[in-house]
Structure 1
Amino acid sequence: MNSSDRTPADLLRSALSADPARPLVTFYDDATGERVELSVATFANWVAKTANLLQGDLSAEPGDRLALLLPAHWQSAVWLLACSSVGVVADVQGDPATADLVVTGPDTLERARACRGERVALALRPLGGRFPQAPEGFADYAVEVPSQGDRFAPFAPVDADAPALAVGGVELTGAQLVARAREDAAALGLVPGSRLLTGRTYDTWEGLSAGLFAPLAAGGSVVLCRHIGQLDADGLAKRVESERVTNTAV
């Protein structure tokens, strides 16, 4: 990746320039059997659409705080990079009552209602499916995002030294996030082309780093496994082999 990259959005742009066709996020939900693989190009397209939704329809501005009430999931990774693209602070599992807007999964809808700003809900169904009926008071992400533009340009440049992420009591600027992701990538032994399998949750820095930021910073990819505890040792070994996993962080 480029040494000049200072935000997660920069890292994604560099990955797109280097090899748009390579896998970036492979997601498993071992409670449902779902598997989704997104190339760099496909992931970047989701990010662009989501950033356009965030900046345009939701009127989010740099410095706004978004309570991200989502589990480890490929769509959560998309939202993290969309926030970085706009300059919005992604407050993972943050308090919706103090946030400017909230993005929630189906299990945290009631908690999310405390937000007085815009509210977006994700059904987290296979293939990005929508709710059978949108929850009252929420925009259904799967309904709103497809019509958004495939290219994104921020209204204002994103400041790499402004807050970008809050998780588990830690708040990082974009530049600090990239620096820590690079450090973690080195500690995990990641190099360009590495495939990191992780079952960590997204409610800690360690989970977010292994599940997205460190592989992205290294020029590698992640096999993100939700509910990995439902796999036995043989099943895990088979996944490691079939997905050509080079490193693990479970």
Structure 2
Amino acid sequence: MPATTTDSPAAGRPADVAALLAGLVREPGRPRLTWYGPDHERVELSGAVLANWVVKTTNLLVEELDAGPGVRVLLDLPAHWRALTWAPAVWRAGACVVRADAARAPADGGRVDVVVTSRPDEHGTGAPVVAVSLAALARSWAGPLPRGAVDAAAAVMTYPDALGWVPAVDTGAPAVAGGPDVAHAALLGTALGTAPPAGARVLRDVRGLDGVDLALAAAATWAVDGSLVLVDGGALDDAALERLRTGERVTHDAG
């Protein structure tokens, strides 16, 4: 399927991921991402910290894995806060996020140049593998890794806080591949089709989403100067969810 190129951001909205990230640091201490995991861990990232994670991850992708226009990165991550650092980093490098299906293959059957996964043992050796721990604020992968795999938690922290050289983004190249394709030029415009009200504190249940869907929803929220509270609704009863809404000052429920 050809890359979609017709959608564009509304006036006053960031036109690309670089501008989106710049918007996150205009109020650097403001929470932009709060995660309640199924094991009841809570992770909160301010705009400055979130942008810093994306910058470091972009540097790793470009310097170690040659990410750039035309490079396809299989994002085999669940709907988890760590997907919200990796997908924007792939886009900032000008590369393409490829959706993964349950069989660990690209949904559109195309090639894969890099694999970013929380399941490194389930991927072959055809492309470099980056192992992403889902443990709260893990600093390294727990246990042995397949030969040649990159330990994301350890490696990302070695890269600079300032963005290094990145290739120019080819706006006509795919930013998302598989179900359907979306070009870089249309990435934020497509995401904004489901944007919440401007400035909203958004509660979103991650059940039923993959890492790519969650990243697009997050991009839409940040593009309208909002913030996210992510929960696995199956881990909370109604009373706990209502307490969370109040405690996190939620203003918009995305379901």
- Please indicate, yes or no, whether the TM-score normalized by the shorter chain is above 0.5: yes
Q: Provide closer, same or farther for how the CA distance between residues 62 and 209 of structure 1 changes in structure 2, counting only shifts above 3 A.
A: closer
Give the residue type in structure 1 aligned to 2:243. Answer: K
Deviation string 1:53-80 (CA, Å, 9 cap, x unpaired) is: 0000122222200000001111110001
2-structure distance, mates of 1:92, 1:61: 17
Residue of structure 2 equivalent to 1:54: 61
- Among residues 196, 202, 205, which one is paired with 1:196 in the alignment? 202
Residue of structure 1 equivalent to 2:236: 231
Are residue 143 (structure 1) and residue 150 (structure 2) matched?
Answer: no
Structure 1: 4+ residue segments shifted above 6 A: none
Deviation string 1:63-107 (CA, Å, 9 cap, x unpaired) is: 2000000011111100011011101101122626820010001xx
Deviation string 1:21-65 (CA, Å, 9 cap, x unpaired) is: 211111110x21111110110001001110010000122222200
CA contact (8 A) 1:7 1:160 kept: no
CA contact (8 A) 1:55 1:61 kept: yes
Shift of 1:207: 4.1
Q: Does 1 or 2 have the higher relative contact order (CA < 8 Å, sep 6+)?
A: 2
- Among residues 96, 100, 107, which one is paired with 2:113 in the alignment? 100
Residue of structure 1 equivalent to 2:35: 27
1-structure distance, mates of 2:135, 2:211: 24
Residue of structure 2 equivalent to 1:83: 90
Give the residue type in structure 1 aligned to 2:183. Answer: T
- Among residues 213, 230, 246, which one is paired with 1:241 in the alignment? 246
Residue of structure 1 equivalent to 2:170: 159
User: How big is the alpha-carbon RMSD for the aligned residues of Structure 1 and Structure 2?
Assistant: 2.1
| Partner SS for 1:170 | coil
Are residue 222 (structure 1) and residue 223 (structure 2) matched?
Answer: no
Alignment gaps of 5+ in structure 2: 1-9
Structure showing the higher helix proportion among its residues: 1
CA contact (8 A) 1:100 1:117 kept: yes
TM-score, length basis structure 2: 0.85
Identity of paired residues, percent? 34
CA contact (8 A) 1:104 1:120 kept: yes
2-structure distance, mates of 1:228, 1:129: 27
| Partner SS for 1:63 | coil
